[in-house]
Structure 1
Amino acid sequence: MRDDPTVAIAAERLGKCYEIFDRPADRLKQMLLRRSLGRPFWALQDVSFTVRKGEALGVVGHNGAGKSTLLQILAGALKPTTGEALLRGRVASLLELGSGFLPDFTGRENVFVNGTALGLSTREVEQRLDEIRDFAEIGEFFDQPVKTYSSGMFVRLAFAVQACLSPDILIVDEALAVGDIFFQQKCHAHMAGLLDKGVAILLVTHDVQAVRKYCSSVILLENGRVTHQGEVETGLRLYGNSRPTLAKGLEASAAVSDETRTASASHSASVDEAGDMDFWPPDEAFLPLDAAQSIVAEEESVRIDRVALCTPAGSPCRMFEQGQYAHFFIEVTTLRDVEQLAIGLTINTKDNLPLYCTNSLLTRSGIPATLGRDVRLRLCWKMRLPVACGDYTFSVGIGEHPSWIAEQLEYISAETLIASGKPLFSLLKAGSFVVCKPSHGLQIPFIGLVDIETDISFRTSQSQ
């Protein structure tokens, strides 16, 4: 790979070993006695990969997996214990944003300092100065000392400097989450533009959607070792299924939960209807699903048998007044042993805008963590419709998560939750309905797409 001009980053058997001591005094004793009193700890071991020009490689893993160690080696901040890394071209590192800024220098002056450190001439920096200033969006503060900046202004300028100085390689560590949503959108657009220009990107992030969007391959690190290298979706699924490191207090509760799940698995095959469901529509209430689009992500896993849309009284209905309740009835059959099922419901506007999407896992519906084969599961989804008048479609999807996921929802990130899911079956545009104005009361309860619950307080006083 060293002779391949298309390769921008080549890492071969990278490793980083630290010597750790049980007591601080042992470090001093080792220096005096000249014999080893510590033990080796491999923060990174036997990591190899290549990134070609115009490609992005994602690196994912839980805290302590070795991601930061890998980035520091590639950025030149750490020397590897074993192996070597070849980086061909100008490298911009978005690790510790602004770490090279001089607080008494202005933003403009710091741009020149950082540009010089990247190997650019003063003229080359001047040619990019306006682009950096416009990208950072800090206005007149560009010519003020950076010690007067807010934290948001500081990271905006730091990102702009590194991203706009024409790097050949961009190393990113969670830097796309800087600033507000508008600046983040600008950062994402700029990343896409860099890829189009042939820049090689190494992206370390917990944002699985960013990995899906930019990366052609992914590396999963666990305890300093590569446990997956290659296809993105497979890597993200393994990342989601790998349990994050828990505090000691949580480890005990997780063990108890495992025992509970094991006990419940023994009777999961007898589960039939929802525990507190007191009504199920007659056969004629269910919708014809011939026109719906079925997407089978895994054969012989689950199937959606029937879907109905009714009023709270149980009558089939396709027209609801604003603010009324709709009841979605969904019947599912398992075709194999499954772990935690998440049954999702998505509502789209007529222009295909996702108005609402959630699933039974997030709403803590209590579906058992494991279900056996040939289990019939019936779900009643009760939903109020405080939405704009118009036509809507709804879709149903089923995914599978690890059996422990429901017990750990409070302790994991949204990214981990999303990555842990595995799609099984989807029924797109299973049905449609219409929302109209209320027949009684205020005819225009709100203007917009959805009626958000609001509480307004006020106070009056006599003006002086």
Structure 2
Amino acid sequence: MSSEPVIRVRGLTKAYPMYARPHHRLLELLFGERGGRWRREHVALNDVGFDVAAGETVGIVGRNGSGKSTLLQLLCGTLTPSGGEAVVRGRVAALLELGAGFNPEFTGRENVFLNGTVLGLTRAEIEARFEDILAFADIGDFIEQPVRTYSSGMYVRLAFAVAISVDPDVLIVDEALSVGDEAFQRKCFARIEQLRERGTTVLFVSHSSQSIVQLCHRAIWLENGEIRADGVPREVVALYHRATLGGASDPVEGAPQPAAATTAEDIEVALEPCAAAVEFPRNGAFIGGATLVDEHGAHAPYLERGRRYRFGYSLHIESIVDDLRAGMMLRNRTGIEISGALVRPQTGLARTFAGGERMRIVFEFDCLLAPGVYFLSCGAMGVKDGREEFLHRWLDAFEFTVIESAGYGVRAVEPHGIVDLRFDAAIRPLEH
């Protein structure tokens, strides 16, 4: 990497005037600011400074409103700073928002030539790359239709295809890629990997912790327009999640730990079903009082990779059931089943349960998942009147987030993918 930074930011500040009433803007024009009488300022970015080296990939994390998009727009020159400076060297390609730079009345083909020209390509260069752009966007005959007829996914496909076609020195991407489907996102990140290998500097905003950790050399956490952390991606992401997701702090050595919940009455923090939850009809039992706790029995608002957790729920039997079984399943955001378990009553317990009985179902597991968002499903089944049936179940009932653990450590073998299988690996010389 060159010693001269490709991106140099010093004291960068952006403030927006805020008016309590629309006519206050006119009064300010007529009579002047009068010491800020008509307005107040919202500081979106405050005295931010950092360098990005050539070929470096930097991910930016932060809550909505933290200043991430403002920073990217200042770097691209679409906003003027209130103070400080941002210098970017080389050809810049940016994908800041859906369809930015597109004319909705022009066809996709016409917008490719328009947008490519804005990005610095000649007509001959655009014509030479057009088929590659069309193949990457994969929107078929819609390339000849006005882009106002496009879905949001088609917009972002074409916009990203044009942006990467210019072979940029610096690629700046906002959260627009989250609009595309899973297959297209994978294709985009694979292309970003190719650009990285060619030495392109990449700066992007993402809510995907896994993307930040796997793709980036470095991560920056913005909070209220200021840099809270700048460093190793897994460490920055862990700090960010701890601050935003809240929850109990790490236990103090020697301090008494809370007891684990074992019955419905002991539950202090029960999980609420998420918006995506699907409850199936009750058929002789019902599930309630679900909890997700750490190894000390403390409520776990998020899960840290490498630690042990306990998921439990109460099962209330309403009719006679034989061969009772209860289970759970973990799925990712695309619906892929990652792992699950099914448990039967322990030896010595009755095989037949009558109405009115209650029990607690508990599953303990090590969290070996990559950072990201996952869903828990749970259900119970048994034999009723000689037939095996579901008694009650919830699909994708509870959502939880996995984050990196500061104590997980950097290992010689870096895990990739959804699940960390705790590989051991080595590179050994061959004997001649």
Fold shared, TM-score > 0.5 on shorter chain: yes
One-letter code aligned to 2:107 = T
Cα distance in 1 for residues equivalent to 2:137 and 2:195: 17
Q: CA deviation at 1:15?
A: 0.5
Residue of structure 1 in register with 2:5 after alignment: 7
Residue of structure 1 in register with 2:402 after alignment: 418
Cα distance in 2 for residues equivalent to 1:429 and 1:133: 39
Residue of structure 2 in register with 1:94 after alignment: 95
Residue of structure 2 in register with 1:124 after alignment: 125
One-letter code aligned to 1:187 = C
Helix, strand or coil for the counterpart of 1:30? Answer: helix
Cα distance in 1 for residues equivalent to 2:131 and 2:112: 11
Helix, strand or coil for the counterpart of 1:97? Answer: coil
Cα distance in 1 for residues equivalent to 2:305 and 2:212: 25
Residue of structure 2 in register with 1:237 after alignment: 238
Residue of structure 2 in register with 1:175 after alignment: 176
One-letter code aligned to 2:70 = T
Cα distance in 1 for residues equivalent to 2:25 and 2:58: 38
Q: CA deviation at 1:420?
A: 7.3
Per-residue CA distance 1:16-54 (angstroms, 9 max, x = gap): 112323344433333333213123321101111122222
Helix, strand or coil for the counterpart of 1:129? Answer: helix
Superposition pairs of residues 41-190 of structure 1, within 5 angstroms? 41-190=42-191
- Which has the larger displacement, 170-179 or 195-204? 170-179
Tell me, which stretches of 5 or more residues in structure 1 are unaligned? 245-253, 278-331, 347-356, 367-380, 388-393, 400-412, 431-464
Residue of structure 1 in register with 2:29 after alignment: 31
Cα distance in 2 for residues equivalent to 1:94 and 1:429: 36
Per-residue CA distance 1:173-205 (angstroms, 9 max, x = gap): 113323222212111110100111111111111
Cα distance in 1 for residues equivalent to 2:225 and 2:174: 17
Q: In the alignment, is the contact (CA less than 8 A) between 1:176 and 1:188 conserved in 2? A: no
One-letter code aligned to 2:256 = A
Residue of structure 2 in register with 1:374 after alignment: none
Q: CA deviation at 1:102?
A: 1.9
Q: In the alignment, is the contact (CA less than 8 A) between 2:305 and 2:408 conserved in 1? A: no
Q: CA deviation at 1:171?
A: 0.7
TM-score using structure 1 length: 0.57
Residue of structure 1 in register with 2:285 after alignment: none
* Match among 366, 390, 397 for residue 366 of structure 2: 397
Cα distance in 2 for residues equivalent to 1:32 and 1:65: 33
Q: In the alignment, is the contact (CA less than 8 A) between 1:343 and 1:396 conserved in 2? A: no
Residue of structure 1 in register with 2:203 after alignment: 202
Superposition pairs of residues 325-364 of structure 1, within 5 angstroms? 340=300, 360=310, 363=311
Q: CA deviation at 1:333?
A: 7.1
Cα distance in 2 for residues equivalent to 1:98 and 1:194: 22
Per-residue CA distance 1:190-232 (angstroms, 9 max, x = gap): 0100111111111111111111111111111111111111121
Residue of structure 2 in register with 1:215 after alignment: 216
Helix, strand or coil for the counterpart of 1:242? Answer: helix
Q: CA deviation at 1:398?
A: 6.0
Cα distance in 2 for residues equivalent to 1:207 and 1:429: 21
Per-residue CA distance 1:373-427 (angstroms, 9 max, x = gap): xxxxxxxx96479x9xxxxxx994369xxxxxxxxxxxxx979x3337655699x
Cα distance in 2 for residues equivalent to 1:345 and 1:203: 24
Identity %: 41
Q: In the alignment, is the contact (CA less than 8 A) between 1:93 and 1:162 conserved in 2? A: yes
Cα distance in 1 for residues equivalent to 2:79 and 2:213: 29
Cα separation, partners in 2 of 1:341 and 1:86, compared to 1, 3 Å: closer
Residue of structure 1 in register with 2:263 after alignment: 276
One-letter code aligned to 1:11 = V
Helix, strand or coil for the counterpart of 2:256? Answer: helix
- Which has the larger displacement, 183-192 or 94-103? 94-103
Per-residue CA distance 1:292-344 (angstroms, 9 max, x = gap): xxxxxxxxxxxxxxxxxxxxxxxxxxxxxxxxxxxxxxxx976xx98849789
Q: In the alignment, is the contact (CA less than 8 A) between 1:10 and 1:85 conserved in 2? A: yes
Helix, strand or coil for the counterpart of 1:243? Answer: helix
Tell me, which stretches of 5 or more residues in structure 2 are unaligned? 265-293, 315-324, 330-336, 338-362, 369-397, 412-419, 423-432
Helix, strand or coil for the counterpart of 2:403? Answer: helix
Helix, strand or coil for the counterpart of 1:40? Answer: strand
TM-score using structure 2 length: 0.61
Helix, strand or coil for the counterpart of 2:402? Answer: helix
Helix, strand or coil for the counterpart of 2:235? Answer: helix
Cα distance in 1 for residues equivalent to 2:125 and 2:10: 33
One-letter code aligned to 2:402 = I
Residue of structure 1 in register with 2:278 after alignment: none
One-letter code aligned to 2:366 = G
Q: In the alignment, is the contact (CA less than 8 A) between 2:10 and 2:84 conserved in 1? A: yes
* Match among 8, 17, 20 for residue 19 of structure 1: 17
Per-residue CA distance 1:231-259 (angstroms, 9 max, x = gap): 21221112112237xxxxxxxxx9xxx9x
Q: In the alignment, is the contact (CA less than 8 A) between 2:68 and 2:205 conserved in 1? A: yes
Q: In the alignment, is the contact (CA less than 8 A) between 1:395 and 1:429 conserved in 2? A: no
Residue of structure 2 in register with 1:449 after alignment: none
Cα distance in 1 for residues equivalent to 2:328 and 2:71: 49
Helix, strand or coil for the counterpart of 1:228? Answer: strand
Q: How many residues align?
A: 306
Cα separation, partners in 2 of 1:429 and 1:130, compared to 1, 3 Å: closer
Q: CA deviation at 1:153?
A: 2.0
